[in-house]
Chains A and B, each alone.
Chain A
C-alpha cells in the first residue's frame, strides 16, 4: 500500500512525544484482539469510538477486534487532562502513529517468517499475506517484547485518500450498555462489602465548623463511621439511604461560623476589582479614529456544568495502597494533588478512570475523589462509595466565571471597520488539580490543617483561558485587545466548555451585528468583507445558504433570525450559526442552522452529535442559566432554582459538515458556544429591535429592554 512521503516531523505527534513507549498505548493479543490503552477518557463526547477508528485504520483490522482498557495510573500513558477539544490531536494522533509503527514492526516479522520482501505483503483484518502465497496473522506474530520499545520517527500513517474506517460514521462503541440499563458509570459500580458515604459541606465557601456533637449521629442505624477533620465532615454507612439520613442530621446539628460575607452577585463588580492587565493584541494605531465611533458592554453571569449525575467516586484503602475509581478528566494530575492532601506517596495511589455522566469541563469529579479517600481511610479495607447529592453538586462544583466585555470600534466612510477595541474582565478559568503551589480539591481546604489552593490561572494563548477567542479573526487595520484578569473569585471558578471563548465570541459577534446595522450592511456580507480566511468564509456562506438567508432580512416584531461565527481558539474548528427565535412571553429558539469545519472528520456523525449538543447547551445557557449566591453561599441548588432547556423548548438543529480530509482533525465539542449566544442576541434584535447584552435573556430582561 502506498505510504505518505511527507518529510517526517522532528517531534512525535500528540502525547506520544512525552509517552514514547509503544507498549503503553496498545497490545496485540494472541486471541485475535487488540487492547488500546489511551490516557484520554470518555466524558460523554464519544472520543473512544474515534480512537478505535484511528487504530483500526492504521492496523488494517476490523474495529470489532479492539478492546479499550480504562485509563489507569497503573499503566496508561500520562496524557494530562481530557479537555479543550484536544483529544483527537493529542491522543488520536499519538495512537495513529503508534498503530502505524506497530503495523510496520509486524510486517517486518511477517516478511522474515514468510521469506519475502515487505513489498510483497498485504494485510487484511490482521492477516498478512505474501503475494507469492503463504500468510501469517498478527496474533501469531505478536510476542511479548515486540512492542517493548520507543516510538521512532520512521512510521508513516496512511494518506487520507486511503482511509476506509476513518471518516465513516461508526456507531458509538458504548451505546448499547447505556440503553439497556447495564452498569455503565462509576455511579453504578458495586464492590464486595462496599459502604456508602456522604459529605456534609459548610453552608458556604467561607464558613468554618465551630462545633458538633458526633455521638448522636454515630448511633444512627447503619452508621459505621463519622469523620470530622477541621471543617470536613462526612459519614459512612451500610446503606445509601442511611448515609443520606445521617448526613441530614449532621447538617442540622453542626454549628458553623459564617465567615466573611460574600459580595454582590453582579458581573459588573469585576470592573471594580484590582486586575492584572495585559494587552494581548495590538495592531496599527489603536487610537485611530474613524468617521463614527461605537461602543457597547456585554456580560455573562456565573454558570454551572450541571451534569445530570452528581459526582461520585469509590476509594479503598488496602494494605499500604489506596485504590480509587473516579470520573476525573485527569487521573495523573489528580493523583499528585491527592498525594499532597493525604500525605502519602503518589506511587501508593492507583487511580482508575470509570465513566461518569456528561462532563463539560472541570466539575466536581476530582473533589469527590478526595472525599471518598478521606472516608475510606476511616474504614481500612472497605470500599467506600461517595456520591454528592444534587444540592452539593450545584453548590460546590466549580463554575464558569462571570465576565464583562467592553468593545469599541470606528467605521470609515465606506462602512468598514477601521479600528477595533476589546477589553475583558474575568476570573481565572483554570483551577484544576495539578496547579503549582497548592492543592485544588475542596476537602483539602476544609481540613484542620488546610492546604492552600494553587494560584488560579489561565491556559496561555493562543488557546487562552479568559482571553480565549478575544482576538478577532476579522482583519481590522487597527486593533487593541486587553485582558483584565482578576484571579480570585468569591465562588470557585474553573474550566467550563470553551472557557472565556463563549463570552468573548458572544460579545464580538453581537457587536459586529451592531456595527453592520450602523453601516447599513447585511450582517452576512459585513462579516465576509472583513474576513480573509477562506475556511471562515466558507462556513458563513454555507450556513447562509442552508438557512436561505435573505440579504437585509428583517424580523416581524415576533420572529427574527441572526447569525454568529467563530473559529474556536482561533486555531481549531470553524463554526457558523443562524438562529431563529420567536419572542412571546419568553424567547423561544425554534431553529438553529450550523455549518462547521473540523478539518478531517474522523467520525462525521459523532462530530455532528457533539455539535448538536453544544448548540442546545448554549441555547440553555443563553436563555436561562445563572448561578446565584447570597452573602453566605450558592442559592441555586436544585433544578428548580437552576432550570435548563427542556424537551418542550428544544430547537430543531441542522448541522452541515464541510469535511476536509486533508486538513488535520480538530475537536468539535466547544466551538459553538459563543456563536450560538450571539446568533440568538442578533435574532432577538432582528425580531424586536432591542439589543440584549446581558445573559441570560430571561423574560424579565426582555420586558425591561422593551420598556427602556
Chain B
C-alpha cells in the first residue's frame, strides 16, 4: 500500500504494509540509514527520530501512524555541510567510540534543546533515559550536549 510521509520537510511515498515499523520504511525504502536498529522493542533508543517535536522510537511506530506528521531524522540535523551545534560539539568532545548510539542520542538531545536551551545536568540525563550506550561514552556525550546548549544560547 502506498503511504505518504513528511520526512525532513519533503513528502516521500513508501510502498509498505500499514503495520511496518517506521524504522524499516526509513532505512530500507527511503535509504535513511542514519536511524539505526538496536532492539526493535523500544528499549535502546538507537532508532530515535523526532515526530512533531517529540523524540520517538521509530521501531515502535507503525508507518501508517506516522502519516500526516512531521518526521525529522538525523540526516536533516546538518544543513548541507553546515553541521548542527550538537554535531560540532560531538566532534569537539570526540563523543563517540563505535558511534552506533549517536544518531538516536543526537535526536533525543535536539528535541530537548529545541524546547530548553539551558538544561541542567539532570535534564540532559533524563532526556537520554531511553537511550543506551554500550561503549561507555556517557561522559563525553553529556559534555557535548552541554557544550551545544551553550553555543546555541550564544547564537
| B116 at interface, CB cutoff 8 A | no
CB-contact partner of A181 in B32, B124, B128, under 8 A = B32
Task: Check A648 against B139 for contact (C-beta < 8 Å).
Answer: no
Give residues 105-155 of B contacting A (CB, 8 Å): 106, 124-126, 128-129, 131-142
Q: What 1/0 flags go to B83-97 for Cβ under 8 Å of A?
A: 100010011001011
Q: How far is the CB of A113 from chain B (nearest CB, A)?
A: 40
How many of chain A's residues have a CB under 8 angstroms from any CB in B?
62
Say yes or no: A179 contacts B90, CB within 8 Å: yes
Interface contact B97-A613, CB-CB below 8 Å: yes
Are A390 and B38 CB-contacts (below 8 A) given A184-B99, A609-B97, A638-B43?
A: yes
Residue of B nearest to A306 (CB): B134
User: Is B142 within 8 A of A647, CB to CB?
Assistant: yes
Question: Residues of A contacting B31 with CB < 8 Å?
Answer: 190
Contact of A647 among B17, B100, B128, B134 (CB under 8 A): B128
Given contacts A171-B94, A180-B83, A358-B97, whether A616 and B44 have CB atoms under 8 Å apart is no
- How many A-B pairs with Cβ below 8 Å? 181
B133 contacts A308, CB within 8 Å? yes
CB of A707, distance to nearest CB on chain B (Å): 31
Nearest A residue (CB) for B90? A179
B101 to chain A: which residues have CB within 8 Å? 308
Smallest CB gap from B76: residue in A: A181
Contact (Cβ within 8 A) A639 B134: no
Most A-side CB within 10 Å, residue of B24, B97, B135, B136: B136
Q: Which residues of A contact B133 (CB under 8 A)?
A: 308, 647
Residues A179 and B140 in contact, CB atoms below 8 Å apart: no
In the bound complex, residues from chain B placing their C-beta under 8 Å from that of A652 are: 139
The answer to whether B138 touches A178 (Cβ under 8 A) is no
A242: min CB distance to chain B, Å: 8
Measured between alpha carbons, how far is A45 from B41 in the docked complex, in Å?
Answer: 27
The reply to whether B134 and A358 contact each other, CB–CB distance below 8 Å, is yes
CB contacts (< 8 Å) of B97 on chain A: these are 44-46, 358, 609-610, 613
Enumerate chain B residues within 8 angstroms of A241, measured Cβ to Cβ: 16-17, 20-21, 24
Contact B99 A188 (CB under 8 A): no
Q: Does B35 contact A (CB under 8 A)?
A: yes
Q: How far is it, in angstroms, between the C-alpha of A615 and the C-alpha of B136 when the chains are bound?
A: 7
Given contacts A612-B140, A638-B43, contact A240 B125 (CB under 8 A): no
Q: Is the CB of B99 within 8 A of A638?
A: no
Cβ distance A362 to chain B, nearest Cβ, rounded Å? 15
The answer to whether A183 has its CB under 8 Å from any CB of chain B is yes
User: Contact between A639 and B39 (Cβ–Cβ < 8 Å)?
Assistant: yes
C-alpha gap A616/B78 in the complex (Å): 30
Question: Given A178-B99, A178-B102 in contact, is the A240-B135 Cβ separation under 8 Å?
Answer: no
Complex interface: chain A residues within 8 A of B40 (CB): 244, 389-390
Asked if B44 and A650 sit within 8 Å, CB to CB, the answer is no
Residue of B nearest to A185 (CB): B100
Does B91 contact A176, Cβ atoms closer than 8 Å?
Answer: yes
The docked-state distance in angstroms from the alpha carbon of A241 to that of B59 is: 11
Q: Does B2 contact A (CB under 8 A)?
A: no
Q: Which of A571-625 contact B (CB under 8 A)?
A: 605-606, 609-610, 612-617, 620
B99 and A614 contacting across the interface, CB-CB below 8 Å: no
Interface of chain A, helix or strand or loop or mixed?
loop
- Chain B proximity of A635: nearest CB distance (Å): 16
* Contact A308 to B38, CB < 8 A, known contacts A171-B94, A358-B97, A613-B97: yes
Closest residue of B by beta carbon distance from A610: B97
* Size of the chain B interface, CB-CB below 8 angstroms: 57
Select the residue from A244, A639, A653 with max chain B CB neighbours within 10 A: A639
Give the contacts of B1-59 with A (CB-CB under 8 A): 16-17, 20-21, 24, 27-28, 31-41, 43-44, 46
Docked complex: A377-402 residues within 8 A CB-CB of B? 387, 389-390
Within 8 A of B (CB), among A338-365: 355-360
Contact: B126 with A179, CB < 8 Å?
Answer: no
Known contacts A358-B135, A612-B136, A617-B136; is-contact A180 B34 (Cβ 8 Å): yes
B98 touches A44 (CB 8 A): yes
B74 at the interface (CB under 8 A from A): yes
Nearest-Cβ distance from residue B43 to partner chain A, whole angstroms: 4
In the assembled complex, A172 has its CB within 8 A of some CB on chain B: yes
> Does B77 count as interface, using CB distance less than 8 angstroms?
yes
Question: With contacts A172-B94, A617-B135, A652-B139 known, is A180 near B46, CB below 8 A?
Answer: no
| CB pair A182 B136 closer than 8 Å | no
Query: For residue B24, which residues in chain A have a CB less than 8 angstroms away from its CB?
Result: 239-241
The smallest beta-carbon distance between B19 and chain A, in angstroms, is 8
- Asked if B46 and A308 make an inter-chain contact with CB atoms under 8 angstroms apart, the answer reads yes
Query: B17: nearest residue on chain A (CB-CB)?
Result: A241
Please pick, from B17, B20, B124, B134, the residue contacting A308 in the complex, using a CB distance under 8 A.
B134
Smallest Cβ distance from A104 to chain B, in angstroms? Answer: 34
Q: Do residues A613 and B39 form an inter-chain contact, with CB atoms below 8 A?
A: no
Complex formed: what's the CA distance from A357 to B46 in Å?
Answer: 11
CB pair B37 A609 closer than 8 Å: no
Is B100 a contact of A179 with CB atoms below 8 Å? no
Q: How far is the CB of B101 from chain A (nearest CB, A)?
A: 6
How far is B96's CA from A606's CA once the two chains are assembled, in angstroms?
10
Query: How many angstroms between the C-alpha atoms of A355 and B136 in the bound complex?
Result: 18
Q: Tell me whether A616 and B75 are in contact (CB under 8 A).
A: no
B34 engages A182 (CB within 8 Å): yes
- Give the shortest distance, in Å, between A200 (CB) and chain B (any CB): 16
Given A44-B97, A181-B77, A646-B132, residue A239 in contact with residue B103 (CB < 8 A): no
Inter-subunit contact A613/B135 (CB<8 Å) = yes
Bound-state Cα–Cα, A182 to B140, Å: 21
Q: Please, how many angstroms separate the alpha-carbon atoms of A179 and B104 in the complex?
A: 10
Q: For residues 638 through 668 of chain A, which have their beta carbon under 8 Å from a beta carbon of chain B?
A: 638-640, 644-648, 650, 652-653
Contacts of A175 in B (CB 8 A): 90-91, 94, 96, 99
- A689 close to B (CB within 8 Å): no
Contact A44 B99 (CB under 8 A): yes
Interchain CB contact under 8 A, A614 and B102: no
Contact present for A181 and B44 (CB under 8 Å): no
Which one, B94, B98, B138, B139, contacts A357 given CB within 8 A?
Answer: B98
Contact A613 B137, CB 8 Å, known A45-B97, A175-B94, A181-B33: yes
CB-defined contacts of A638 to chain B, threshold 8 Å: 39, 41, 43
A-contacting residues of B (Cβ < 8 Å)?
A: 16-17, 20-21, 24, 27-28, 31-41, 43-44, 46, 73-75, 77-78, 83, 87, 90-91, 94, 96-103, 106, 124-126, 128-129, 131-142
Residue pairs across A and B with Cβ atoms less than 8 A apart, 5 shown, are A178-B99, A180-B34, A355-B98, A616-B138, A638-B43
6 additional A-B pairs beyond A179-B96, A647-B129, beta carbons within 8 Å, are A179-B99, A180-B34, A310-B39, A357-B134, A616-B138, A639-B41
List the 8 closest A-B pairs by CB distance, nearest first: A181-B34, A44-B98, A616-B136, A178-B99, A613-B136, A357-B100, A358-B98, A650-B138
